[in-house]
Amino acid sequence: MVMELCLGGELFDRIVEREHYTESQARQCLKEVTEAIAYCHAQNIAHRDLKPENLLYASDDDDAGIKVADFGLAVLLDDNTLTHTACGTPGYVAPEILRNAWYGIQVDVWSLGVIAYILLCGFPPFYDEDNLRLYEHIKRGVYDYPSPFWDHVSDTAKDLIDHMLVVNPKKRYTAAQVLAHPFLADDTLSTHDNELPMFRDNLKRYNARRKFRNGLLALQVVSAFSGGNSDKSSALASILRNAAASNPEEEGTGAEAPATEVPAEAAAEVPAEAAAEVPAEAA
């Protein structure tokens, strides 16, 4: 097997290194990722695990392209085929997966919508201090654009997100429709030059906490799998349950679990959880 070596680092890591960040730069990032997913969907491939860790720059060059990585959970699905496997990464998972319903390639567009939201403000769209309410927000698609963090973002960008974060997958934009939306299709919009002054600090906090939690959970998973546990699926499910139950008071958030694919019986016991990293002013 030959794999491409991407030396440019993760998308969010590169963004926080920039001194200035505009809506145009967020737009370009989203456009590149969406083009890749639209191509996958045209080949009847659903990625099913779109998240920041899987968006890599090809090199350290300023003009390096973004690559979509980790197709470990990808599956072949055409327009007439659905699947029922519980998988994905909490925080980016579509509501139909949370409901344990049959789903198709549209789950990727939901994940893209979450990424688009973060790219424009620096924190995710779904959050709540109570994890059970958080799950309900995701399933209902409840989110907003809190001031002052969204004051500098154009209505065109918000309109695109509103067509991506649609609970009903039949009414949700396809990847091709996302690319055809004026926010991505019209290069002449003056709003593309909007500076996003609060974005960098927001994303820096969110990114640091996300990586810290993922590191802790990875250590737990490695420990469980190296301890000779005969029922590794149950061990992993237990770790995810514990992660979902944790809700640090100092952050008002729950933990983000690693991507996983577990038997349906285990998945039914472990509700997926959205990342909840928002500035205190927005909570």
CB 102 within 8 A of CB 84: yes
Global pTM reads 0.73
pLDDT (tens digit per residue) in 48-75: 999 988 999 887 778 889 999 989 899 9
108 given a catalytic annotation:
no
Domain count, the chain: 1
Tokens linked to 259: 């991507």
How far are the Cα atoms of 34, 138, 203, 240 from residue 111, in angstroms, in the given order?
Answer: 11, 12, 17, 20
Q: Which of 49, 79, 187, 201 is catalytic?
A: 49
pLDDT digits (tens, 9 = 90+) for 194-215: 777 677 677 766 665 666 555 5
Residue 111's pLDDT band, with cuts at 50, 70 and 90, is: very high
Which two tokens mark 213?
């939690």
pLDDT at 43 over 50: yes
Instruction: Judge whether 139 and 96 are in contact, CB under 8 Å.
Output: no
Q: How far apart are CA 72 and CA 158, in angstroms?
A: 31
> In this predicted structure, what is the pLDDT of residue 120?
93
pLDDT of amino acid 166: 97
Between 230 and 274, the higher pLDDT residue: 230
Share of the chain above pLDDT 90, in %: 39
**Nearest to 98, CA basis, from 130, 141, 51, 138:** 138
Q: Is the pLDDT of residue 246 over 60?
A: no
Instruction: Name the token pair of 60.
Output: 């350290």
Scored b (16 or more CB within 10 A) or e, 139-162 reads: bebebebeeebbebbbebbeebbe
The pLDDT tens digits for 136-164 are 888 999 899 999 999 989 999 999 999 99
Q: Is the pLDDT of residue 85 over 90?
A: no
Residue 149's domain spans which residues?
1-283
Helix (H, G, I), strand (E, B) or coil at 35: helix
Separation CA 52–CA 179 (nearest Å): 20
Tell me the Cα Rg of the chain.
18
CATH number of domain containing 22: 1.10.510.10
User: How many CB atoms within 10 Å of residue 47?
Assistant: 25
Residue 53 has what pLDDT? 87
45 C-beta neighbours (distance < 10 Å), count: 18
Amino acid identity of 234? S
Euclidean distance between the first and the last CA atom of the chain, given in angstroms as a whole number: 46
Which of residues 267 and 220 earns the better pLDDT score? 220
Which pLDDT band holds residue 232 (cuts at 50, 70, 90)?
A: low
Q: What is the pLDDT of residue 223?
A: 63
